[in-house]
A and B are shown apart, each in its own frame.
Chain A
Amino acid sequence: MNLIISHLSKQYRRDFWGLRDFDLELKPGVIGLLGPNGAGKSTLMRMLATITQPTEGKIEWNGVDIVKSPDALRAVLGYLPQDFGVYPNLTALEFLEYMAAIKGMDGKTARRRIDELLVLVNLAQAAKRPLGGYSGGMKQRVGIAQALLNDPQLLIVDEPTVGLDPEERVRFRNLLSDLSGERIILLSTHIVSDVEATATEIVIINKGQKRQHAAPEKLLALLDGKVWQWVIPSEDLPALKASHLVSGTIRRENGIQVRVVSEAAPAPEAERVTPSLEDVYLREVAQGSSSK
């Protein structure tokens, strides 16, 4: 099972490319897709989900070009869009039955699967209430359930934890880990901790181009010995931000504790600390911005 993306580009306007010459090969596991707003994450996901077609390039699912034959992928695809709606007059149960029919599932299998999913997303007791009365988080969970209906081999989830409370977020992370056996899960998010907890591989994307693709530990190794921490007076912070990449600040009694990514020690009192994925992400995004 593999998904190969070669030279993928999407042009929206004459002078604007949402994605440019993007290459990626994915194998089973949870792949975290990180990038700032407008980086091209949703564009990439929509093309993989066969919602929109690339301007250039190829996407192959197990050797089949899905731009030419999208149904080869659609039968085994689960997709949770970033922004989606539901039919307000249907109950969660009816909506999932409808989506199961659309996905071509037979009634018996669908019913069994829906029952399990409703328990899984903690909506069993609200399943017979119209979706019009659901909160944002509950609708998000209906979206998660519909994405898992057909036991997908490729699961694409775009900002899945938006609107979920902390407990549900943890449950969803655990669910992704549980599911990540023999399937590819592509998880796009701004929340680095979500990726940190679940991803077996991380792709960092900025301005429509791939910046990094590696296992989390390899990405962390890139910053070994390059993350520093010390306390500075509050008034020195703007100057430090102008000269260094500050990846975190915490207010302390004696000033502000800063976290800086730098090749050399930025100050005599700075101490080396263990890098985090957030440091890596911020460095890649900053480098991507300055290189343009």
Chain B
Amino acid sequence: MKTLRVIYHLARADFLERVRRYSFLIMLGLVVWLGYLSASGQMRMRVPPDYTGVINSAWVGATMTVTVSLLLGWVGFYIVKGSVSRDYETGVGQIMATTPLSRPLYMLGKWLSNFAVLGIAVVIMMIEGILMNLLLGTHDLDLLALAVPLVVIALPCVALIAALAVLFESIGWLRGGLGNVIYFFAFMFALVWSGQIEDIGTPGKIANPYIDFTGWQIIGDSVSHAARAVYPDTAGGFAFSITDLAAPNIFLWNGLQWTRDILLSRGFFLLVAMGIVLTSSLFFDRFNPSRLTVKRKKADSDSPALTPAIEATPRPDIHLTPLPASRPRFRFDALYLAELKLLLRGQRWWWYVVAAGLVIAQLANTPDVTRILLVVAWVWPILLLSGLGSRESRHNTREMVFSAPRPVLTQLPATWLAAFTLMALTGSGALVKFLTLGDTHSILAWLVGAIFVPSLALAFGVLTGSSKTFEIVYVFWMYLILNKFAAIDFVGLTPNSPWLMYLGLSLVLMIVAVSIRQWQIKTR
């Protein structure tokens, strides 16, 4: 009983702390919008090319389930990750460490809080589905058909994501930006592997619910079978997107057949989630600074970062030489070099080796491969770029930096220019290659990319005061570019990319960053 009380209060305090943040409101807004798209039929499941279901409670419930699995599976991780880090940063963790609270209990509390935050999104979507049904009256409301997929499929999925967030936070090197990047690729890989997206709904393929953590395969297979029953010519498959079908072929789908296997598999994912949470407690250092120091020292033997500084014996009083009354003119070059130093400080030697390797590889390959390598080389400094505009909040230097003369008109441009230099250096191999080939188009696209990325990072950093948003958006963006999504290709990887448009967008982002910083200084 006492244990349950401890977990409850741990989770409650953490939950309340989070739901009172603006980021929670943003998440709710996103959920409500996606719920609307799902319930109104604008976001739809279909069997390619244009077979789609009648909008009924089962269809809306399943569409919402697929939406929430994707949204919370990916973005939800970033939304809930950070509660253990906050305990490190605020020092609350050290206070907790002096109590009898055990590691598994602490981790369980954090998991429950994560689960509650994500679970609220599922519940809100469910309520929205009901309200939309009552308001629009498109079909008779079947509460069970609408709610059960969300409860049985989406909730275990978010339980798993909540547990993964706890696991990432319990391991020191996964706690920060690197963990954010790794999770993105791990999630994409797991999605493709577990859902076997290519094969969903294909005749002859049997779904394995025990690896399908999102439930996409379970729903996709069922929907595809229903389509084939009405339209035997369809080749199967399953797609899910915001699509406006001109003349859709409609079929009726009355929901999933809840087989024993499906139900057991959802329970299985809940157990996996619990297993991950308990495993996390093995890695968790329980806010022990000495354990943290030893580990880091081992990993970074030549890093002086955590070596305690030794104090000198106090010297006799000395007096400061007064500075001349005439103050020298402001020097932008000095500030730019200081910003560049700040940007690059703290990187390990292997970081530079990889960056240099990527530059050489850009030089040594064919233009097509060079363009791909350029994208990779520009993702490499993501954790440096993500600090732009947000490091003053992160390290609590705002008051010192913003009380200096012209903080917006000097410091912000110097920060941007330092980041541009970083982009230019990491992409220098490609630039030399394009110059050698006289490829004007690629040179200009390179330039636009080198301007756009720092502008994006700065705008996100200033706007959110955190590095997380840029890390999430940027890695996804570059992933889509590598997958040849022409519309968002600002580096000119695809033949018809509108890279020039991003020059204008860069300007807009810079204006946004300057205006918001100006506003922040004036109003806070």
Which residues of chain A have a CB within 8 Å of any CB of chain B?
46, 49-53, 71, 74-77, 79, 81, 83-90, 94, 97-107, 109-110, 112-113, 116-117, 119-120, 122-126, 129-130, 132-135, 138, 143, 146, 148, 150-151, 167-168, 171, 174-175, 178-179
> Which of A97, A104, A179 contacts B330, CB < 8 Å?
A104
B338 near A97: Cβ-Cβ < 8 Å: yes
B304 near A81: Cβ-Cβ < 8 Å: no
> Which of B317, B319, B342, B522 contacts A98, CB < 8 Å?
B342
A74 near B405: Cβ-Cβ < 8 Å: yes
> Which of A71, A104, A133 contacts B308, CB < 8 Å?
A133
Determine which residue in B310, B321, B405 has the highest number of CB atoms from chain A within 10 A of its CB, and name it.
B405
Q: A51-B524, A88-B395, A125-B312 are in contact. Are A102 and B401 (CB under 8 A)?
A: yes
Q: A102-B338, A122-B312, A124-B312 are in contact. Are A133 and B306 (CB under 8 A)?
A: yes
> Which of B307, B346, B521 contacts A133, CB < 8 Å?
B307
Could you tell me the dominant secondary structure of chain B's interface residues?
Answer: loop
A126 near B310: Cβ-Cβ < 8 Å: yes
Q: Does B507 contact A (CB under 8 A)?
A: no
Q: Does B438 contact A (CB under 8 A)?
A: no
Which residues of chain B have a CB within 8 Å of any CB of chain A?
304-312, 314-315, 317-324, 327-331, 334-335, 337-339, 341-342, 345-346, 391, 395-407, 410-411, 521-524
Q: A84-B396, A101-B338 are in contact. Are A167 and B406 (CB under 8 A)?
A: no
| 12 pairs, CB–CB < 8 Å, chain A vs chain B | A49-B403, A84-B399, A85-B395, A94-B345, A99-B404, A101-B337, A125-B310, A126-B309, A129-B309, A130-B306, A133-B304, A133-B308
B403 near A74: Cβ-Cβ < 8 Å: yes
Q: What residues of B have a CB within 8 angstroms of the CB of A124 in the complex?
A: 312
B309 near A112: Cβ-Cβ < 8 Å: no
Minimum CB–CB distance from A92 to chain B (whole Å) comes to 8
Q: A49-B403, A75-B405, A179-B320 are in contact. Are A133 and B305 (CB under 8 A)?
A: yes
Q: What residues of B have a CB within 8 angstroms of the CB of A53 in the complex?
A: 522-523
CB closest residue in chain B, given A76: B327
> Which of A77, A79, A89, A150 contacts B345, CB < 8 Å?
A89
Given the complex of chains A and B, what is the CA–CA distance between A146 and B403 in angstroms?
A: 12
Given the complex of chains A and B, what is the CA–CA distance between A135 and B308 in angstroms?
A: 8
Given the complex of chains A and B, what is the CA–CA distance between A23 and B524 in angstroms?
A: 22
A89 near B320: Cβ-Cβ < 8 Å: no
Determine which residue in B311, B312, B317, B521 has the highest number of CB atoms from chain A within 10 A of its CB, and name it.
B311
Minimum CB–CB distance from B90 to chain A (whole Å) comes to 12
A150 near B323: Cβ-Cβ < 8 Å: yes
B399 near A81: Cβ-Cβ < 8 Å: yes
Minimum CB–CB distance from A288 to chain B (whole Å) comes to 27
B320 near A135: Cβ-Cβ < 8 Å: no
Q: A86-B397, A102-B401, A122-B312 are in contact. Are A113 and B323 (CB under 8 A)?
A: yes
17 other A-B residue contacts (CB within 8 Å) besides A51-B524, A53-B522, A122-B315: A50-B402, A50-B403, A74-B404, A79-B399, A94-B341, A97-B338, A99-B404, A102-B335, A104-B405, A113-B323, A122-B311, A126-B309, A130-B304, A130-B305, A133-B308, A138-B309, A138-B311
Q: What residues of B have a CB within 8 angstroms of the CB of A125 in the complex?
A: 310-312
Q: A87-B395, A126-B312 are in contact. Are A106 and B307 (CB under 8 A)?
A: no
Q: A84-B397, A86-B395, A130-B305 are in contact. Are A106 and B328 (CB under 8 A)?
A: yes
B306 near A98: Cβ-Cβ < 8 Å: no
Q: What residues of A have a CB within 8 angstroms of the CB of B338 in the complex?
A: 97-98, 101-102
> Which of B305, B403, B405, B410 contacts A132, CB < 8 Å?
B305
Minimum CB–CB distance from A66 to chain B (whole Å) comes to 11
The number of A-B residue pairs with CB atoms under 8 Å apart is 166
Q: What residues of B have a CB within 8 angstroms of the CB of A119 in the complex?
A: 315, 318
A133 near B309: Cβ-Cβ < 8 Å: yes
CB closest residue in chain B, given A138: B309
Given the complex of chains A and B, what is the CA–CA distance between A179 and B324 in angstroms?
A: 15
Q: A88-B305, A167-B314 are in contact. Are A151 and B524 (CB under 8 A)?
A: no
CB closest residue in chain B, given A105: B328
Given the complex of chains A and B, what is the CA–CA distance between A86 and B392 in angstroms?
A: 9
Q: What residues of B have a CB within 8 angstroms of the CB of A138 in the complex?
A: 309, 311
CB closest residue in chain B, given A139: B309
B318 near A116: Cβ-Cβ < 8 Å: yes
Q: What residues of A have a CB within 8 angstroms of the CB of B321 in the complex?
A: 112-113, 116
Please list the 7 inter-chain residue pairs (A to B) with the smallest Cβ-Cβ separation, ordered nearest first: A85-B396, A89-B346, A101-B338, A151-B323, A104-B330, A125-B312, A126-B309
B410 near A104: Cβ-Cβ < 8 Å: yes
Q: What residues of B have a CB within 8 angstroms of the CB of A103 in the complex?
A: 404-405
CB closest residue in chain B, given A110: B334
> Which of A52, A75, A107 contacts B327, CB < 8 Å?
A75
Given the complex of chains A and B, what is the CA–CA distance between A150 and B325 in angstroms?
A: 11
Minimum CB–CB distance from B94 to chain A (whole Å) comes to 13
A51 near B305: Cβ-Cβ < 8 Å: no
Minimum CB–CB distance from B2 to chain A (whole Å) comes to 35
A126 near B335: Cβ-Cβ < 8 Å: no
Minimum CB–CB distance from B484 to chain A (whole Å) comes to 37
A85 near B397: Cβ-Cβ < 8 Å: yes
A79 near B400: Cβ-Cβ < 8 Å: yes
> Which of A75, A101, A109, A113 contacts B335, CB < 8 Å?
A101
Given the complex of chains A and B, what is the CA–CA distance between A143 and B523 in angstroms?
A: 24
Minimum CB–CB distance from B88 to chain A (whole Å) comes to 13
CB closest residue in chain B, given A128: B304
B311 near A126: Cβ-Cβ < 8 Å: yes
Determine which residue in B309, B318, B345, B411 has the highest number of CB atoms from chain A within 10 A of its CB, and name it.
B309
CB closest residue in chain A, given B411: A102
A109 near B314: Cβ-Cβ < 8 Å: no
Q: What residues of A have a CB within 8 angstroms of the CB of B307 in the complex?
A: 129-130, 133
Q: What residues of A have a CB within 8 angstroms of the CB of B324 in the complex?
A: 109
Q: What residues of A have a CB within 8 angstroms of the CB of B330 in the complex?
A: 104
Q: A51-B403, A102-B401, A109-B323 are in contact. Are A132 and B306 (CB under 8 A)?
A: yes
Determine which residue in B314, B323, B341, B407 has the highest number of CB atoms from chain A within 10 A of its CB, and name it.
B323
B331 near A106: Cβ-Cβ < 8 Å: yes
> Which of A101, A126, A175 contacts B334, CB < 8 Å?
A101
Minimum CB–CB distance from B209 to chain A (whole Å) comes to 47
A116 near B331: Cβ-Cβ < 8 Å: no
CB closest residue in chain A, given B391: A87
Q: What residues of A have a CB within 8 angstroms of the CB of B346 in the complex?
A: 88-89
B397 near A87: Cβ-Cβ < 8 Å: yes
CB closest residue in chain B, given A49: B403
